[in-house]
Structure 1
Amino acid sequence: MTVDQQHTDIKKLVVLGGGISGTGAALLGAQKGYDVFLSDGGTLGSAFAKALQEQSIPYESGGHSIEMILTANLIVKSPGIPDHAPMILKVKSEGIEVISEIEFAARFTDEKIIAVTGANGKTTVTSLIDHIFNVANLEHTTGGNIGKSFAQQVYEGKSTYRLLEVSSFQLDGISTFKPHIAILLNITPDHLDRYDYKFENYIASKMRITMNQDENDFLIYNTDDPAITEAIKNANIKAQLIPFSMENELEKGAYLLNNQIHINTHNSLFTMPTEQLPIKGKHNTANAMAASTTAKLLQIRKETIRQSLTSFEGVEHRLENVLKINKVQYINDSKATNVNATYYALDSMEQPTVWIVGGVDKGNNYKDLYSLVNRKVKAIVCLGTDNSKIVEAFGNCVEQMVETSNMEDAVRVAYKLATAGDNVLLSPACASFDLFQNYEDRGRQFKNAVRGL
């Protein structure tokens, strides 16, 4: 029995949420013979509405018709809808299976999946592996939590490898999703508002990436991360464990020694000096290790890996140099939506820094940043509708702190506070939804404001 035949006996599919993942799931469902209905509580983007109309898939927006939803045998829900939403609790109480879009897509493919997760760095690592695959000329698709949804990729046709960035929200809704290579970069408190403010719930969610792996699969993990090493100790993991470390020399896996990356797999060693990496900072060395370990497990040539690492240009909105104005460097790190990401950004600053911070706080604990702010930050520009938590946390750390509520003002204030040789860093440590559509919108507005100075 093929994967397709196994699952199309469920005929009525309801997709909740009409964004990138929901639309992808609806298109794939229709292609596989399901009777599909999509329901979006907000406004449906015109491109998504058009894609559904072209395939004659019925949908609603601006609210959910619960009686319609309850006719489903299977529900695919958007990662944005929490498990404890009343509607989800209701459908589950009726015994209807609720899964995520990556689980739904995985049911229609037996291709090799490479899945990357972690609180931070997953977009950089996914983009770096994608770059290595392009240089190596490997047939693959890239997406998931970035770019095209997994369901959209499967809908569009076959491929050899499926490279996916996956979030904890997507992993919460899996039951059979099984990556050939899973990459676990780090686990730091993030999105705790979705996990009853319990860090152990978030850790359990991230560990789901390996739950269906077997001894033919690989789990690449950061052995410097205490939350990960503890979770691995207590879990019954069947995959082959491939650690990477910035701190200790390892017999197998990847480690840093004398400013050189060493990767030892399949009894062969790959080495490369860190100075040849165009993406800077300790966290990016770790990201490069994780990506090149993946390439090595897939037996991509060492020369190809080396060429790929030296030619990678980084990710938009992640420590992206925008412009130098009057000898002040403006840096866009809008993708830093949590404290840990901002920690990496501040840690990599080598000049006095005017720091633009703020947005929607996700239960942040700013204590970890105090010593870095004391050492590196000369002034703080708050950017949010409610800056009270940031003012309270950092009021005593810096001489100057200014509150703003739009990007143009924030950039203008930073321009006045910075002098030659300084950095102006947008690294918000918060979600963007108070003033912006998403972190990309926030990053683009920052770049436009800087260019308008």
Structure 2
Amino acid sequence: MQKKVVILGGGESGAGAAILAKSKGFDVFLSDKGLLHQKYVDVLIRENISFEQSQHSEAIILESDLVVKSPGIPDTVPLIVALKEKGVEVISEIEFAARYTNARLIAITGSNGKTTTTLLTYHLLKNAGLNVGLAGNIGESFALQVAEKDFDFYVLEISSFQLDNIVDFHPNISIILNITPDHLDRYGYDFQNYIDSKFNIIRNQTEDDYLIYFTDSEVLTLELDKRKPAVKNLGISLEEVLSTGSYLLDQNLVSHINGQTFEQNFSQLPIMGPHNAINALAAISVAQLLGINQDKIAEGLKSFTNAPHRLEEVEIIDGVTYVNDSKATNVDSVFYALGSFNQPVVLIAGGVDKGNDYSQIEELVRNKVKGLIVLSKSFEKLKDYFSEVVPQIYTTQDIQDAVNKGKEWSDPGDIVLLSPACASFDLFRNYEDRGDKFKAAVRNLISQ
């Protein structure tokens, strides 16, 4: 009898999982409580896959043999609880896709820097001529690529939500860039629960595999000391010289791996800031582990273009540089953003607070920020915390108003930085929408 697979959630990962399941001979049903995007409706109809939208038909779902769920659905919702009580296996799309590929997997997680590191690692591998796919929390669905393509390697950006529902997912190389408080509303406001989720990335790794991690992070070093995993560890540091591993020394990225030494002047690269030094060292480490030659690594680093909304320079107007860092949805991201500039900063921050602790950036804000513009419906927490820290605070719910105030407060040589420390969905659809509207508002200044 044909095994029945239900896909919960019909976005990129769900549609891809449905196509992979059908290609493997399963009886597939996709269910989404919301409205499906038309492009996914078209795909499902074309592939002759049964689906529903705007509801979950629980009687049908509970009769499944396997459920592949969207990362956005918490394990605590009643339907997932009922499935697990019935003994139905509930897994993530990355787990499902990994079951059907023999490709070597490079999996990257962390509270910050995942996307840049994933894109840079992919770029270095592809530039060196490797047959490599890019997937996970970025780009085209991992499951869809496994169904339709035949890559030798995958570089995967992996969120904690995706790691919550793995069973056998086994990266050959894993990277944990950092773990700082984020998404605590999903993890019962218990930081250890979030740490445990991130560390699922090494759960199935063996002594034949590698973990690349940031040794300057006390959270990571303590956790590794506690767990003592079998995987081979490779460190990254901004503070110390490592005999094996990668580090930043006098603005040079240095990596000693597999008996090879690689060096590159960081200031010559198209990315900036200490967080991007960490990201670059992680990507270099992967390239060295895979035997990519030094010239190809250097070439790839110099030709890399980062994704938008990550310390993206928008315009220089009257000597003031406007920078879009809308992807900075937590405090740690803002810490690295402020640390990237020596000039005075007018900071635009705010949005949906996820239990933020602003003490982490208090000293940086005191020393660097000449004015704070809170762009949010709920401005009280930020305003109250920094009222004695910065000389001036302005609150608004209009991004053009925020940018205009940034222009008013800034002088030639200053930075006007959108780095919100918060989620975007009080005023915007997502962080991309927020960043795009910031860029448009900046460019409106030119015509004023």
TM-score scaled to structure 2, two decimals? 0.97
What residue in structure 2 maps to residue 59 of structure 1?
51
Amino acid at match of 2:224: I
Identity %: 50
Amino acid at match of 2:120: L
Moved more, 101-110 or 379-388: 379-388
In structure 1, stretches of 5+ residues that fail to align are 1-8
User: Per-residue displacement from partner, 1:295-322 (whole Å, max 9, x unpaired)?
Assistant: 0000000111111112223221000000
What residue in structure 1 maps to residue 264 of structure 2?
272
What residue in structure 1 maps to residue 86 of structure 2?
94
The reply on whether 1:356 has 2:358 as its aligned counterpart is no
Shift of residue 261, structure 1, vs aligned partner: 2.1
Amino acid at match of 1:361: D
The reply on whether 1:405 has 2:397 as its aligned counterpart is yes
Residues 406-445 of structure 1 mapped to structure 2, 5 A cutoff: 406-445=398-437
The reply on whether 1:159 has 2:174 as its aligned counterpart is no
The 3-state SS of whatever aligns with 2:31 is strand
Shift of residue 10, structure 1, vs aligned partner: 7.1
C-alpha separation in 2, matches of 1:36 and 1:11: 9
In structure 2, stretches of 5+ residues that fail to align are none
Task: Pick from 2, 7, 20 the counterpart of residue 15 of structure 1.
Answer: 7
Amino acid at match of 1:316: P
The answer to whether the Cα contact below 8 Å between 2:262 and 2:294 also exists between their aligned partners in 1 is yes
User: Per-residue displacement from partner, 1:52-82 (whole Å, max 9, x unpaired)?
Assistant: 1111112122221111211111111111111
What residue in structure 2 maps to residue 3 of structure 1?
none
User: Per-residue displacement from partner, 1:7-59 (whole Å, max 9, x unpaired)?
Assistant: xx871111111111111111111111111111111121111111111111121
C-alpha separation in 2, matches of 1:107 and 1:334: 35
The 3-state SS of whatever aligns with 2:229 is coil
The 3-state SS of whatever aligns with 1:193 is coil
What residue in structure 2 maps to residue 149 of structure 1?
141
The answer to whether the Cα contact below 8 Å between 2:2 and 2:27 also exists between their aligned partners in 1 is no
What residue in structure 2 maps to residue 287 of structure 1?
279
C-alpha separation in 2, matches of 1:121 and 1:430: 16
The reply on whether 1:123 has 2:79 as its aligned counterpart is no
Residues 218-367 of structure 1 mapped to structure 2, 5 A cutoff: 218-367=210-359
Moved more, 298-307 or 440-449: 440-449
The answer to whether the Cα contact below 8 Å between 1:75 and 1:97 also exists between their aligned partners in 2 is yes
The reply on whether 1:386 has 2:370 as its aligned counterpart is no
Structure 1: which 4+ aligned runs deviate by more than 4 Å? none
What residue in structure 2 maps to residue 172 of structure 1?
164
Shift of residue 125, structure 1, vs aligned partner: 0.7
C-alpha separation in 2, matches of 1:28 and 1:236: 36
TM-score scaled to structure 1, two decimals? 0.96
What residue in structure 2 maps to residue 68 of structure 1?
60
Shift of residue 389, structure 1, vs aligned partner: 1.3
User: Per-residue displacement from partner, 1:307-353 (whole Å, max 9, x unpaired)?
Assistant: 11122232210000001111111100011010000110111122211
C-alpha separation in 2, matches of 1:407 and 1:15: 38
Moved more, 333-342 or 22-31: 22-31
Shift of residue 434, structure 1, vs aligned partner: 1.5
Shift of residue 387, structure 1, vs aligned partner: 1.4
Amino acid at match of 2:331: V
User: Per-residue displacement from partner, 1:103-122 (whole Å, max 9, x unpaired)?
Assistant: 01011111101111111111
C-alpha separation in 2, matches of 1:338 and 1:225: 17
C-alpha separation in 1, matches of 2:382 and 2:30: 40
Equivalenced residue count is 445
The reply on whether 1:31 has 2:23 as its aligned counterpart is yes
The 3-state SS of whatever aligns with 1:354 is strand
Residues 207-222 of structure 1 mapped to structure 2, 5 A cutoff: 207-222=199-214
User: Per-residue displacement from partner, 1:84-142 (whole Å, max 9, x unpaired)?
Assistant: 11221121111111101100101111110111111111111111111112221111110
Moved more, 98-107 or 384-393: 384-393
What residue in structure 1 maps to residue 362 of structure 2?
370
The reply on whether 1:450 has 2:445 as its aligned counterpart is no
The 3-state SS of whatever aligns with 2:188 is coil
Shift of residue 167, structure 1, vs aligned partner: 0.4
The 3-state SS of whatever aligns with 1:244 is strand
Q: RMSD in angstroms over aligned alpha carbons? A: 1.3
